[in-house]
Amino acid sequence: MAELQQILDETGALVGEVPDLSDERLRELFQHMLMIRSLDGRMLKLQRAGRVGFVGTATGLEASLVGAAAPLLPQDWMWSGLREGGAAITRGLPMSEYVAQMYCNSNDTAKGRQMCNHFQHKESNYPSWSSVIGTQITHGVGAAYASARRGDDAVHSIHFGDGASSSSGFHSGMNLAGVWQTPCVFVCIDNGWAISVKSSEQTAAESYSDKAEAYGMPGVTVDGNDVLAVYVEMKTAVERARAKGGPSLVVLKTYRMLGHSSSDDPSKYREDEEVEAWAQCDPLDRYESFLIARGLIDANERSAQEEAIVAEIDEVIHEQEAAPPFPLRSLVEDVYSEVPRHLRLQFNQFLEVAERRGDATPGDGAFPL
Amino acid sequence: MTTLTLLQAVNEALHTKMREDERVVVFGEDVGPKGGVFLATEGLTQEFGKQRCFDTPLSEDGIVGAAVGMAVNGLLPVCEIQFQDFIFPAFDQIVSEAAKLRYRSGGQYTAPMVIRTPYGGGIRGGLYHSQSGEAYFAHTPGLKVVIPSTPHDAKGLLIAAIEDPDPVLFLEPKALYRSVKGEVPEGSYSVDLSTVRTVREGSDVTVFCYGAMVPVCEKAAAKAAEGGIESHVIDLRTLLPLDEEAVLDAARSTGRVVVVHEAPRFCGYGAEISALIAENAIEYMEAPVRRVTGFDTPFPNTLEHHYMPDERRVLDAIEGVASF
């Protein structure tokens, strides 16, 4: 069994060496974690009020997201699945775009085409991802190959869950990266559950990080609720990749505290005791204790910060709620670089029926054929 | 002009684009020093080095998935799937990822890439070296599906596919790799995607075909002409997006249509051609559309020449619609 890497124990007591980070940076990690948790809370509220359709939360995973993203440089890429949106914010995804995507409105850079919670941000190298599990893994490897060939010094951080480790994309991606020695890091966030299937039922391997050996790369298992340990192990892996030392697998053991999504009721398949036990290892509580003990924040800081973050989020929500959806023409745009004739025709026929039947929706008119 | 086989024309297109554009990379199973099982990539590793033409582990979803990532990050990948029959592990990457990336990202991310793969029967390859899977892919918005039938088109269409801003599935009729020869211009030129090629003009019956069925239809048309039936033969060559106006014009010009493909009939590409004509040109039709296709069975082995449409079956259909 792989040894669990830890710097802070469950109570926040130091059991390892604090990484060389400024006090300001240590506080910033906490703010980022708090931001993710607050964002989850607000989005769930919107979902329950029927304002947004779907939320895939990261509650419980904050240390894994923030610690893994923190060692990345601006030129690096993050390839993601469902729960990395908050990590993307720490790398530059504007809150307004995050919320616009949740509303799928006309400010959404994806033009409202993806269901909620599918973020992207080109400026910080955070590509669009699909809902299909594990497909982003080989994308990250191919993109890392391109970076290496160009010599642009970028590392590709490829995030996925314990469930995705069973997908063909995991095997294909890990294998290609090992053979090609691409500059990437595989970040497996083992959050205990793939919807309703226990992490222990995804594999007969004793630990997920053991899988790395088969692909000729190092693997490490980290306490994913310990932001400092996650940061340190990710930094090692990112630096190895940047120094042309090849890929590695970093497994972050954490726990998805809420359902798979806002549409899931986890009480049907897991015991309250398990959730309560993990609540005792909460990544925010733990890190807060450490920061207080180190004199970097005081006991009132968390609630004050939380209040400020929530106020900021609410302001963004207020702005984004007013934005309209995308015009009708976007139905057939971006399928190809130019709208081909058969799609222009299909759209015009649709518009003609809508107008003739008296229920035309405002759009920007027919296409020239 | 030089005279090349279809296979040599593919190889020449790859050489031409790799010389022109540093971003072009070629990879797949056995495509490196060996030059591919059919030798389509022969000489590329030798000329451009293994950074630009290289072998991959045996992983179709890995090949296409990595190609998507390379395309997103600035390369122009031209990957090879050794036989179209082996493409299905990559179906997810083609259909869910490459084809949908532009749309789902609102145009922020795109995957300009080419997947080359030999398809079709006639080489005694049995179930798994013979299939024609074009209909699966032609049903995928966001993808372009191209099938050449002459050396000239193979080079020009492949160059156009590599230059195209969208993902292209380039299906190469392996039965024609060495059996057809033709004049091919030297240097770079492209043949517009989404245009059809008029193979033969005629006023009695229109025959739609593509890939390895084109020479079969040409022979059948020549035979029909001996009996006084003039066939208008159209090589569709880009199945998606299809030049629908050209198809309809050709159908209207004779009012009698035969559609030919190797793939199974049910939900095959011929069904789309047939429906397109039924919806838009039924008033011009003098006879029901006839399809000449493979059987709705897996691809056979010893009996493949009975499975695949041949000159006799196409001729029978031409005569049948002509005399209806």
> Looking at chain B, which residue has its C-alpha nearest residue A174?
B62
User: What pLDDT is stored for residue B197 in this prediction?
Assistant: 98
Instruction: Compute the distance between CA of residue A72 and CA of residue A268 in angstroms, rounded to an integer.
Output: 38
Among the residue ranges A39-43, A118-122, A352-356, B89-93, the one predicted with the least confidence is: A352-356
Query: Does one domain contain both B306 and B225?
Result: yes
Mean pLDDT of chain A: 95
Query: Does one domain contain both B203 and B172?
Result: no
Task: Flag whether B191 is in a domain.
Answer: no
> Looking at chain A, which residue has its C-alpha nearest residue B67?
A142
* Closest CA–CA distance from residue A214 to any residue of chain B (Å): 14
User: What would the pLDDT profile of A62-95 be if each residue is shown by its tens digit?
Assistant: 999 999 999 999 999 999 999 999 999 999 999 9
Report helix, strand or coil for A35: helix
Q: Which residue has the higher pLDDT, A367 or B318?
A: B318
* Closest CA–CA distance from residue A102 to any residue of chain B (Å): 14
* Closest CA–CA distance from residue B315 to any residue of chain A (Å): 32
Q: Look at A172 and B105 and tell me if their CB atoms are within 8 Å.
A: no
pLDDT band at A359 (very low <50, low <70, confident <90, very high): low
Q: Look at B89 and A150 and tell me if their CB atoms are within 8 Å.
A: no
Instruction: Compute the distance between CA of residue A52 and CA of residue B133 in angstroms, rounded to an integer.
Output: 40
Query: Does one domain contain both B54 and B109?
Result: yes
Q: Look at B241 and A334 and tell me if their CB atoms are within 8 Å.
A: no
- CATH fold of A4-321 reads Rossmann fold (3.40.50)
Closest Cβ opposite residue B74 in set A108, A150, A173 = A150
Task: Flag whether B190 is in a domain.
Answer: no
Q: Look at B77 and A142 and tell me if their CB atoms are within 8 Å.
A: yes
A369 touches chain B (CB under 8 A): no
Residues from chain A contacting residue B51 (CB–CB below 8 Å): 149
Find the radius of gyration of the CA atoms of chain A: 22
Helix segments in chain A, DSSP class H: 23-48, 62-69, 85-90, 95-103, 135-150, 168-180, 211-214, 227-242, 272-279, 283-293, 301-321, 341-356
In this model, does residue B321 exceed pLDDT 80?
yes
Closest Cβ opposite residue A169 in set B61, B107, B166 = B61
Instruction: Compute the distance between CA of residue B234 and CA of residue B149 in angstroms, rounded to an integer.
Output: 11
Query: Does one domain contain both B30 and B178?
Result: yes
Query: Does one domain contain both B88 and B216?
Result: no
User: What pLDDT is stored for residue A360 in this prediction?
Assistant: 58
Instruction: Compute the distance between CA of residue A138 and CA of residue A144 in angstroms, rounded to an integer.
Output: 10
Q: Look at B245 and A111 and tell me if their CB atoms are within 8 Å.
A: no
User: What would the pLDDT profile of A268-316 be if each residue is shown by its tens digit?
Assistant: 999 999 999 999 999 999 999 999 999 999 999 999 999 999 999 999 9
B165 touches chain A (CB under 8 A): yes
* Closest CA–CA distance from residue B252 to any residue of chain A (Å): 19
CA-wise closest residue to B175 among B138, B209, B148, B145: B148
Catalytic residue among B15, B129, B139, B306: B129
User: What would the pLDDT profile of B126-182 be if each residue is shown by its tens digit?
Assistant: 999 999 999 999 999 999 999 999 999 999 999 999 999 999 999 999 999 999 999
- Tell how strand B114-119 and strand A197-198 pair up: unpaired
* Closest CA–CA distance from residue B21 to any residue of chain A (Å): 14
Q: Look at A337 and B74 and tell me if their CB atoms are within 8 Å.
A: no
Q: Which of residues 277-306 of B touch A (CB under 8 A)?
A: none
Query: Does one domain contain both B124 and B157?
Result: yes
CA dihedral (A341, B236, B102, B108) positive or negative: negative
How far out from the chain centre does Cα B82 lie? 15
Closest Cβ opposite residue B69 in set A122, A140, A336 = A140
* Closest CA–CA distance from residue A349 to any residue of chain B (Å): 13
A122 touches chain B (CB under 8 A): yes
Instruction: Compute the distance between CA of residue A79 and CA of residue B284 in angstroms, rounded to an integer.
Output: 54
In this model, does residue A364 exceed pLDDT 80?
no
Residues from chain B contacting residue A149 (CB–CB below 8 Å): 25, 51, 75
| Other residues' Cβ atoms within 10 Å of the Cβ of residue A13 | 11
Q: Look at B69 and A145 and tell me if their CB atoms are within 8 Å.
A: yes
- Cα–Cα–Cα angle for B16, B19, B21, rounded to 5 degrees: 105
Task: Flag whether B180 is in a domain.
Answer: yes
Instruction: Compute the distance between CA of residue B73 and CA of residue B61 in angstroms, rounded to an integer.
Output: 18
Instruction: Compute the distance between CA of residue B39 and CA of residue A273 in angstroms, rounded to an integer.
Output: 62
Q: Look at B103 and A109 and tell me if their CB atoms are within 8 Å.
A: no
pLDDT band at B85 (very low <50, low <70, confident <90, very high): very high
Amino acid letter for position A27: R
User: What would the pLDDT profile of B88-125 be if each residue is shown by its tens digit?
Assistant: 999 999 999 999 999 999 999 999 999 999 999 999 99
Instruction: Spell A25-39 as b/e; 16+ CB within 10 A means b.
Output: ebbebbbbbbbbbbb
pLDDT band at A2 (very low <50, low <70, confident <90, very high): confident
pLDDT > 90: what percent of chain B? 100
Going by the DSSP 8-state scheme, the letter that residue A8 receives in this structure is B
Domain boundary among B118, B153, B184: B184
Query: Does one domain contain both B15 and B110?
Result: yes
Report helix, strand or coil for A360: coil
Q: What's the per-residue H, E or C state across chain B?
A: CEEEEHHHHHHHHHHHHHHHCCCEEEEECCCCCCCCCCCCCCCHHHHHCCCCEEECCCCHHHHHHHHHHHHHCCCEEEEECCCHHHCHHHHHHHHHHHCCHHHHCCCCCCCCCEEEEEECCCCCCHHHCCCCCHHHHHCCCCCEEECCCCHHHHHHHHHHHHHCCCCEEEEEEHHHCCCCEEEECCCCCCCCCCCCEEEECCCCEEEEECCCHHHHHHHHHHHHHHCCCCEEEEECCEEECCCHHHHHHHHHHHCCEEEEEEEECCCCHHHHHHHHHHHHCHHHCCCCCEEEEECCCCCCCCCHHHHCCCHHHHHHHHHHHHCC
A132 touches chain B (CB under 8 A): yes
Q: Look at B51 and A341 and tell me if their CB atoms are within 8 Å.
A: no
Domain boundary among B184, B208, B225: B184
pLDDT band at A368 (very low <50, low <70, confident <90, very high): confident
Q: Are A2 and A207 in contact (CB under 8 A)?
A: yes
Query: Does one domain contain both B48 and B121?
Result: yes
Mean pLDDT of chain B: 98
Query: Does one domain contain both B38 and B165?
Result: yes
- Tell how strand A248-253 and strand A219-223 pair up: parallel
A111 touches chain B (CB under 8 A): yes
Task: Flag whether B236 is in a domain.
Answer: yes
Task: Flag whether B314 is in a domain.
Answer: yes
CATH number reported for the structural domain that contains residue B249 in this entry:
3.40.50.920
List residues of A with catalytic annotation: 256, 260, 269
Task: Flag whether B147 is in a domain.
Answer: yes
With tokens 């050709």, the residue in question is: B250
Structural domain boundaries enclosing B296: 197-322
**Arithmetic mean of pLDDT, B57-72:** 98
In this model, does residue A369 exceed pLDDT 90?
no
In this model, does residue A353 exceed pLDDT 90?
no
User: What pLDDT is stored for residue B131 in this prediction?
Assistant: 98
Q: Are B133 and B87 in contact (CB under 8 A)?
A: yes
Q: Look at B65 and A342 and tell me if their CB atoms are within 8 Å.
A: no
Q: Look at A139 and B97 and tell me if their CB atoms are within 8 Å.
A: yes
Query: Does one domain contain both B164 and B202?
Result: no
pTM of the model: 0.97
Closest Cβ opposite residue B106 in set A111, A145, A176 = A111
Residues from chain B contacting residue A247 (CB–CB below 8 Å): none
Q: Are B31 and A102 in contact (CB under 8 A)?
A: no
B53 touches chain A (CB under 8 A): no
**Arithmetic mean of pLDDT, B241-268:** 98
Residues from chain B contacting residue A143 (CB–CB below 8 Å): 69-70, 72-73
B9 touches chain A (CB under 8 A): no
User: What pLDDT is stored for residue A325 in this prediction?
Assistant: 84
Domain ranges of chain A: 4-321, 327-369
Domain boundary among B156, B184, B212: B184
* Closest CA–CA distance from residue B49 to any residue of chain A (Å): 12
In this model, does residue A103 exceed pLDDT 80?
yes
- How many structural domains are present in chain B? 2
Instruction: Compute the distance between CA of residue A114 and CA of residue A130 in angstroms, rounded to an integer.
Output: 8
In this model, does residue A61 exceed pLDDT 60?
yes
User: What pLDDT is stored for residue A162 in this prediction?
Assistant: 97
pLDDT band at A1 (very low <50, low <70, confident <90, very high): low
CATH number reported for the structural domain that contains residue B91 in this entry:
3.40.50.970
| Other residues' Cβ atoms within 10 Å of the Cβ of residue A300 | 8
B142 touches chain A (CB under 8 A): yes
